[in-house]
């Protein structure tokens, strides 16, 4: 059973972004209203509205939860490691396996708070998952690059 996530900074993601002057209070309210209306993650809504970059969201999650941030654009990953997680699962959860040492599987994901994804990967890979944060775009590009080989 995974340990409960502990916030290093108890503030909500939106509050952190406002506090860091990455978005305005008005932009946060607009995103939260859209979230109530259509659902989804507030970070993704802020990005889709053009208020903030994916990198800023990833770094704010790093500050909030302490997961390390890993840009994947130039990161070389062993294809055998990638394939520990089946393509459909990687695509569904927007994650990619990047390293394995013993029974520890390191995974880059855009939503590190998706405990269902972590549980599923741990069962699938018979490993303990260590999480790194990366942007949705980086992960989608890596999935396309490594699963197409």
pLDDT in tens, 33-56: 999 999 888 888 999 999 999 988
The C-alpha atoms of residue 28 and residue 43 are separated, in whole angstroms, by 10
Q: What is the pTM of this model?
A: 0.79
For every residue of 35-83, DSSP letters joined together read HHHH-S-HHHHHHHTTSS-HHHHHHHHHHHH-PPB---TT----HHHHT
pLDDT in tens, 90-142: 999 999 999 999 999 999 998 888 889 999 999 999 999 999 999 999 999 99
pLDDT tier at 3, thresholds 50, 70, 90: very low
Pick the closest to residue 61 from 99, 24, 118, 109 (CA basis): 109
Question: Residue ranges of the domains in the chain?
Answer: 13-65, 79-147
Any idea which fold 79-147 has? GMP Synthetase; Chain A, domain 3 (3.30.300)
């Amino acid at each position: 059973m995974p340990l409960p996530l502990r916030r290093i900074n108890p503030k909500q993601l939106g509050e952190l972004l406002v506090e860091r002057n990455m978005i305005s209070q008005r932009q946060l309210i607009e995103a939260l209203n859209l979230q109530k209306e259509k659902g989804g993650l507030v970070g993704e809504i802020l990005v889709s509205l053009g208020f903030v970059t994916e990198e800023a969201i990833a770094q704010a999650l790093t500050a909030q939860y302490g997961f390390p941030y890993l840009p994947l654009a130039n990161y070389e990953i062993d294809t055998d490691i990638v394939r520990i997680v089946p393509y459909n699962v990687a695509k569904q959860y927007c994650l990619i396996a990047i390293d394995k040492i013993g029974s520890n599987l390191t995974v880059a994901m855009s939503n590190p708070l998706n405990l269902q994804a972590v549980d599923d990967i741990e069962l699938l890979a018979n490993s303990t998952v260590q999480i790194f944060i990366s942007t949705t775009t980086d992960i989608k590009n890596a999935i396309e690059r490594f699963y197409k080989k």
